[in-house]
Structure 1
Amino acid sequence: MRMDERRVVAEVHRLTLRELRLWVDEGWVRPAKKADGPVFDEIDLARIRLLCDLKKEMGLSSDAMPVVLGLIDRLNETRRHLRHLMNALEAQPAEVRQDIMATFRSLKHIEGTLEDDQ
């Protein structure tokens, strides 16, 4: 679903048009640019709702926002990479998957032992 600014503000009741434009100017939301203005999709809408939560519910300052958004973006990127890795593993023969899982468990056990020693 594609939405213009006014539709986004109507959809997200905690949001003002001024805030939305500021967040776009800050780069916290990156809608597609069209001749008649920005166009927002479902991912933009989810991010706007997250921004409302961070700003209005949690009181996060504007100075801290880029750091928090950067961490969230990195976490989401890592999750995407893990999904791709899982898909690649699923495509392997059963014996390869079993060897990989055994190695993973071994490394996880070693890591846990090292953490206990600290």
Structure 2
Amino acid sequence: METQEFIGRSHLDTRTLNAWVEAEWLVPVASKKTFQFSEADLARVRLIRDLKADFGINDEGIAIILHLLDQLYGLRCLVRDIQAMEASDRSKDLG
């Protein structure tokens, strides 16, 4: 979704959105003169809001939490790829 739709759905103001993109809390795909945001970006906005409002976490803490979550997601993808390769190897051995 483009920036204006994302602002409407996320209820972020333009200044906050730009600050979060600059801080790399949100990493939209850049296309021509606009950004493209995903449903995952919307979920990330909700997470950031929850961390700030419900837990009182400051900006430095949010940056750390988001970095750790990104690492965890990367590791999950890697484990999934390894499991898929192992399953493929097993099926070749049986076939």
> What residue identity is the alignment partner of 1:53?
D
SS in 2 for 1:78: helix
CA distance in 1, matches of 2:74, 2:15: 29
Question: C-alpha offsets along residues 57-113 of structure 1, whole Å, 9 cap, x if unaligned?
Answer: 32210011221111101100110011101111211237x7xxxxxxxxxxxxxxxxx
2:2 matches 1:3: yes
Q: TM-score, normalised by structure 1?
A: 0.66
Q: Per-residue deviation at 1:16?
A: 2.6
Aligned to 1:48: 45
Aligned to 1:79: 76
Aligned to 1:22: 19
Preserved CA contact (<8 Å) 2:2 2:34: no
Q: TM-score, normalised by structure 2?
A: 0.79
2:89 matches 1:92: yes
Q: Which runs of 5+ in 2 are unaligned?
A: none
Q: For residues 7 and 31 of structure 1, do their structure 2 counterparts lie closer, same or farther at Cα, with a shift above 3 Å needed?
A: same
Which has the higher relative contact order, 1 or 2, with Cα contacts under 8 A spaced 6 or more apart? 2
Aligned to 1:70: 67
Report matched runs for 1:95-110 at 5 Å: none
SS in 1 for 2:59: coil
CA distance in 1, matches of 2:49, 2:7: 12
RMSD value, Cα:
2.0
* Percentage of matched positions with identical amino acids: 28
Q: Which runs of 5+ in 1 are unaligned?
A: 97-118
